[in-house]
Structure 1
C-alpha cells in the first residue's frame, strides 16, 4: 500500500508540474491533463475499492445484516465520491458555481437514499420504547 501511495503522489505531482507549465500556453490541454490524471488515479484504485466492498459484504453476511442496508450505504458513499470528483473538476476549470450545484445534487441524492435507512432506525427505536 505504501508503494501505491507513492505512485499516486508521484503521478499527481508530475501532472501538477506539467499542468503549471502547459497552463501558460495551452490552458485547455492543461485542464484535459488534469481530468485524465484524475481518472487514471481513480482507475488505479478500483482494485482497492473492490476489495473493500467484498470485505464489507463478508462482514455484513457474518453479522446477519440485511444486504439492502449495506448496498444503500455503499451507493451513498459512491455518490459522495463521484459528486466530490465532479465538483473538483469543475472547480479546476474555474466553474465554482457549477461545482456547488454538483455538490448540492450529491447531497440531495444522498438524503433521498438515506430515507429508508432512517425510517428503519426510527421504527426500531419506536419498537424499543415500552408502550404504556
Structure 2
C-alpha cells in the first residue's frame, strides 16, 4: 500500500505545483523538488533492505563482495544521475540534465572497468590455447 501513498503524495504535489505555478513559479519548483526528495527519503529504507539481501545472497554464493559492491555503486550512480537529471528538466534546464546524464554514464563506465576486465580474462581462460 506504500505505492498508493507515494502516488497520492506525488499527485497532490503536482496539483499544488500547477496551481502555485501561475503566481509563484519558484515556489512550484521548490515544492516539486521537496516532494521528490521526500519520496526518495521514504524509499531509503527499502533500498537498504534490497542491498542487504543482495549482499547476503552474494555471500551465500561465495561471490567476491568487491564485485557486488561495485555493481551496487553503479546502480546507485544510475539512480542518482536520473534523479538529478529529472530535477534539472523540471527546472527547464534540459542542457544541464543532459550533462548530468553524461556524467553518470561516464562514472558507470569507469566503475565497470574492473568487472569488464574480469569477464574478459574469464572468457580468454575458457578459450583453447593455440
TM bracket (short chain): over 0.9
SS at the partner of 1:25? coil
Structure 2 length-normalised TM: 0.99
* Unaligned runs of at least 5 residues, structure 1: none
Please name the residue that 2:126 is paired with: 128
Does residue 8 of structure 1 match 2:1?
no
TM-score (norm. length: structure 1): 0.97
1:89 Cα deviation (Å)?
0.2
Match of 2:77 among 79, 82, 89: 79
Aligned to 2:117: 119
Q: Hey, which bits of structure 1, 4+ residues long, moved more than 4 A?
A: none
Deviations 1:15-39 (A, max 9, x none): 0000000100000000000000000
Unaligned runs of 5+ in 2: none
The answer for the alignment partner of 2:33 in structure 1 is 35
1:110 equivalenced with 2:108 (yes/no): yes
1:98 — aligned with what?
96
Choose from 61, 67, 86 the match for 1:69: 67
- CA RMSD for the aligned pairs? 0.4
